Structure 1
Amino acid sequence: MKTAGIIFTILSALLFAISPVLVSWTYGWGNNPLTMVLFRNLFVLPVLFVLMKRDHIAVRLPRDQFFQLLFVAAMGSCLTPLLLYSSYTYVGVGTGTTLHFFYPIFVALFCRFFYHEKLGQAKVLALILALTGTLFFMDFSNLKNLAGVATALASGMTYAFYMVLLEKKGLSRLNPFLCSFWLALFAAADLFVVGSFTDVLCFQQPVISYLTMIVIAMMTSFLAVVLLQKGIETLGSSTASIFCLFEPIGSVICGALFLHENLTPAKILGCLIIILAVVLLILAEWQKSER
């Protein structure tokens, strides 16, 4: 089960890593961040609904889980992308994304201080190594803009809340289609309200843009979210958050392959350090299971 959880989490991270390439293509066709996130959640709803009906899963939720998922969706599926995309206007994509990926340390802190979870030496060492590797992706010249730095870090904090609450409130044990359906529905509703008030939603886009958004929705709001939920259920949020750091590695590789971004020695070293951290964590989990 631990091995399955590791694989699910890494696959989820890689799916999230591929999506920015496709997202950047839609921006060239007239799309914008808020519209992208809205349709990413909206397009996945019919697929999840059909899958639930196929498996005879009731759509209705108990009252307490309804409000818990409403809050979790606001944190992870709505606020997180909005804060992250907003940070890009201040500090750029590279720096904003790097600061966002400090969320594993927020996950660890939330688990430690709110839920009194013991992290263990191996997890702490892996966390330090992973964050060190992430720093190699940083453009330090952009850190002068405090508003951008704060916004990017806030996106990491809201995503950390999302991961921790999925585990600690027992939501990760819900049927993955049911959980993903309500998360996507709440997020789409929140984003539609925000978009209506800000008047930034863009519906006049070519067919190719809408088709690409459907692909992105299937990759992220369906496959990646379901896989992450299963990973958190198996590993716990603090361990899963470290394996999620395969996402910046995947983003660097995809950026070099498809967007012709420079693959600098610093980025390569950062990827290797993160991989070392993940290997150490896998070995620690394996030794623990052997005892």
Structure 2
Amino acid sequence: MRKKGILLCAFSAMSFGFVPLFTKVVMQEGLDVVAIGFFRFLGLGLFSLGMIRLQKRPFSIEIKRFPAIVADSFFQVVTMLLLSASYLFIPTGNATSLHFMYPVFVFLILYLYYKNHFSGMQWLALVLCAAGIVCFIDFDNMNNWIGMGIAIASGLTYAIYMVILDKQGLAQIDPFVLSFIGCVLETVFLAILGLGMGSFHLSLNASGVLSLVILAGLSVCGTLLLQVGTRYIGSGMASLFCLFEPLTSLICGWMILKDPLRWGSVLGCLLIFGGILLILKPPKRSQMKKIKWIKK
């Protein structure tokens, strides 16, 4: 199950890693981040509902889980809005790099609030991954504290989203049912916000429509795989394997968009891969009783 969870989280991250590429195409057609988010969540919700009906899955959840679903949906939407707002103050690459410090917040929340214990190898993996993300930052353009604060805040809200998904038992709910309920809440919120802001100007050409459909598809893969993967390995380890997302975005930008590749980014990739390799190796059997893994 551990290997399955790792693979699911890694593929989820790689799916999300393609999102910036297609988001850029759609934004060039005139849609803002609120409208894009609305259509992404709408596509995910419709797909989830279709799978529920097609497979005749039981559409039921415990009432006590509903407040956690509302909270998780709220933090997911706020994360998207905060990260997008940070782009107004600092370069998108820097904002994204600061956002991906969220594994640090996940570990701290689990350690300080939930009293989870981690092995020395896991802490070392976290340090290497965090150092790798720092290498992605272009410090010459890091001169706006407001933008930096907003980007870091987006990482904190996403960390809370992941911890709630794990610790409040949401990852144990049928992923299609959970996604559908969450998407209903998220699309209603974004629809109200978008109508107030005048976000819905539908003048997309064929390329824009195709990119929007692909964005919805990537959201389907990324969200559902993350939910199931977190069920198997917990939010701590899942947050580290989610770092395949910036690596995918970096490679995509370099190969497809012809973005320049900095040496710092290359070093960052090596550090992140090094950190991930440390936690890919399972502990020896003699140490299994001594080590309390993130997922209990």
- TM, length-normalised to structure 1: 0.94
Using the alignment, how far apart are the partners of 1:133 and 1:44 within structure 2? 31
Using the alignment, how far apart are the partners of 1:43 and 1:239 within structure 2? 28
Name the SS for the 2:87 alignment partner: helix
* Alignment partner of 1:274 out of 266, 272, 275: 272
Using the alignment, how far apart are the partners of 1:102 and 1:179 within structure 2? 26
Identity of aligned residues (%): 31
Check 1:147–1:288 CA distance in 2 against 1; reply closer, same or farther (3 A cut).
Answer: farther
Using the alignment, how far apart are the partners of 2:116 and 2:197 within structure 1? 41
The corresponding residue for 1:253 is 251
The residue correspondences of 1:102-113 to structure 2 (distance < 5 A) are 102-113=101-112
The corresponding residue for 1:149 is 148
1:239 aligns with 2:237: yes
Shift in Å at residue 25 of structure 1?
Answer: 1.0
Deviations 1:30-69 (A, max 9, x none): 2221111110011222221111112222334332222211
The corresponding residue for 2:164 is 165
* Alignment partner of 2:227 out of 229, 234, 242: 229
Name the SS for the 2:246 alignment partner: helix
1:38 aligns with 2:38: yes
Using the alignment, how far apart are the partners of 2:126 and 2:99 within structure 1? 15
Shift in Å at residue 18 of structure 1?
Answer: 1.0
Check 1:273–1:55 CA distance in 2 against 1; reply closer, same or farther (3 A cut).
Answer: same
The corresponding residue for 2:284 is 287
Q: Are 1:32 and 1:202, in contact at CA under 8 Å, matched by a contact in 2? A: no
Shift in Å at residue 288 of structure 1?
Answer: 6.0
Using the alignment, how far apart are the partners of 1:188 and 1:59 within structure 2? 19
Check 1:169–1:206 CA distance in 2 against 1; reply closer, same or farther (3 A cut).
Answer: same
The corresponding residue for 1:114 is 113
Check 1:289–1:268 CA distance in 2 against 1; reply closer, same or farther (3 A cut).
Answer: farther
Q: For structure 2, list consecutive stretches of 5 or more residues without a partner in the other structure.
A: 289-296
Using the alignment, how far apart are the partners of 1:126 and 1:90 within structure 2? 31
Shift in Å at residue 192 of structure 1?
Answer: 1.1
Question: 2:278 is aligned with what amino acid?
Answer: L
Q: For structure 1, list consecutive stretches of 5 or more residues without a partner in the other structure.
A: none
Question: 1:268 is aligned with what amino acid?
Answer: V
Question: 2:136 is aligned with what amino acid?
Answer: F
Q: Are 2:15 and 2:218, in contact at CA under 8 Å, matched by a contact in 1? A: yes
Check 1:227–1:288 CA distance in 2 against 1; reply closer, same or farther (3 A cut).
Answer: farther
Give the paired residue count.
288
Q: Are 1:83 and 1:155, in contact at CA under 8 Å, matched by a contact in 2? A: yes
Instruction: Report which stretch shifted further, 137-146 or 14-23.
Output: 137-146
Q: Are 2:29 and 2:203, in contact at CA under 8 Å, matched by a contact in 1? A: no
Using the alignment, how far apart are the partners of 2:63 and 2:4 within structure 1? 31
The residue correspondences of 1:60-139 to structure 2 (distance < 5 A) are 60-76=60-76, 78-139=77-138
Shift in Å at residue 123 of structure 1?
Answer: 1.0
Name the SS for the 1:23 alignment partner: helix
Name the SS for the 1:200 alignment partner: coil
Q: Are 2:31 and 2:199, in contact at CA under 8 Å, matched by a contact in 1? A: no
RMSD: 1.6
Using the alignment, how far apart are the partners of 1:207 and 1:99 within structure 2? 34
Deviations 1:134-193 (A, max 9, x none): 111101133321110111011101100000000100000111111111222211111111
Name the SS for the 1:44 alignment partner: helix
The corresponding residue for 2:197 is 198
Name the SS for the 1:43 alignment partner: helix
- TM, length-normalised to structure 2: 0.93
Using the alignment, how far apart are the partners of 1:56 and 1:288 within structure 2? 42
Using the alignment, how far apart are the partners of 1:105 and 1:210 within structure 2? 37
Using the alignment, how far apart are the partners of 2:119 and 2:200 within structure 1? 46
Q: Are 2:82 and 2:153, in contact at CA under 8 Å, matched by a contact in 1? A: yes
